[in-house]
Amino acid sequence: MSHSFSRLDTPASEDAGSGIAVRNAAVTYRNGHTALRNASFCIPKGTIAALVGVNGSGKSTLFKAIMGFVRLAKGEIRVLGMPIKDALRRNFVAYVPQAEEVDWNFPVLVEDVVMMGRYGHMGMMRIAKAADHEAVAAALARVNMGEFRKRQIGELSGGQKKRVFLARALAQDGRVILLDEPFTGVDVKTEEQIIKLLRELRDEGRVMLVSTHNLGSVPEFCDRTILIKGTVLAHGPTADTFTQENLEKAFGGVLRHFVLNRPPDGGKAAVRVLGDDERPLILEGGKTVDRRAEVDGGDRE
Ligand SMILES: Nc1ncnc2c1ncn2[C@@H]1O[C@H](COP(=O)(O)OP(=O)(O)OP(=O)(O)O)[C@@H](O)[C@H]1O
């Protein structure tokens, strides 16, 4: 089948191994506000990368720039070794939106939402062929939403809606998938299903860029991390980037900050928990150790 999720072909180019490459990018909105300046990072293919930063740090702006919705004032973004315009034209970039961006009152069936992912593969008249219907069914099955295909999207739970939009990205056969807050309002079981799916997609050679406030889950499933605050503060393998020092730079006083096991002599604590939401992250000696923390009994700094 043409839409199969087998290993991906590689566009011929000198930097074809690159998934997303951003060089000195700047975005200035029409009101004159520069939301992103001098931003540079690159992620290879077959990667799950976290995009982490406080509210207003420029995560959505970066997504919009990769989607071609906002123009770069400076710099360059390349996707799969090609200019973004070419990657978008070839339907290589898929987007899974935040729930708030979608008008859920719009009467549309689950299967129609997923079929939208096929539009770029259809002709002008948007007439779905057998292969398009097969791609929609396969994508829905992959996120365990097949039985909901005739339901109105507005009737689904938050986690189910997320899975439908993931299915749309799968039906599109996006090689670069941007996920805006995929775990907000999602229960732990669905979060685990989504993470499992993202890992499979990574193993197929796709690139996922995931904006998230769930710091606790980042070391668990993201190979790379990009910390942003108006610019890229740090980027690279999560083990090197997701350090206490970098997180404090990115979040300042915004994080809840716990110190556990404070030594009796009042010296530096061995374990700290940082989080800007309900999920804990534990760092030991400035490095991540495990996400599941026993925060009970910890002193609040
Ligand atoms: N259309 C716009 N016009 C002008 N300024 C904007 C526009 N959209 C966003 N901004 C500003 O750009 C900055 C970055 O916003 P952006 O939406 O990229 O942040 P974010 O990191 O996605 O935040 P959040 O975590 O809240 O989603 C903010 O200061 C915001 O106010």
Helix locations, 149-265, DSSP H: 158-172, 188-203, 218-221, 238-241, 244-251
Q: How far apart are CA 160 and CA 146, in angstroms?
A: 11
CA of 112 relative to ligand 1 center, distance in Å: 30
Q: How far apart are CA 225 and CA 240, in angstroms?
A: 9
Q: What pLDDT sits at residue 12?
A: 43
Nearest-CA residue for ligand 1 atom 3 is 29
Q: State the pTM of this model.
A: 0.84
Q: Does the beta carbon of 29 lie inside 6 Å of ligand 1?
A: yes
By percentage, how much of the chain surpasses pLDDT 70?
77
Q: What would the DSSP string read from start to end of 48-60?
A: EEEEE--TTSSHH
Model-level ipTM above the cut of 0.95: yes
CA of 215 relative to ligand 1 center, distance in Å: 20
CA of 64 relative to ligand 1 center, distance in Å: 10
What mean pLDDT comes out for the span 140-165? 92
Nearest-CA residue for ligand 1 atom 6 is 29
Q: Which of 121-125, 136-140, 191-195, 243-247 comes out lowest in average pLDDT?
A: 121-125
Q: Highest mean pLDDT: which of 33-37, 129-133, 257-261?
A: 33-37
Hunting for tokens 């290589």 — which residue is that?
A: 92
Biggest distance spanned by C-alpha atoms of the chain: 74
Domain residue spans of the chain: 106-170, 249-300
First to last CA, the chain: 57
pLDDT tens, position by position, 52-103: 998 899 999 999 999 999 999 999 999 999 999 999 999 999 999 887 667 7
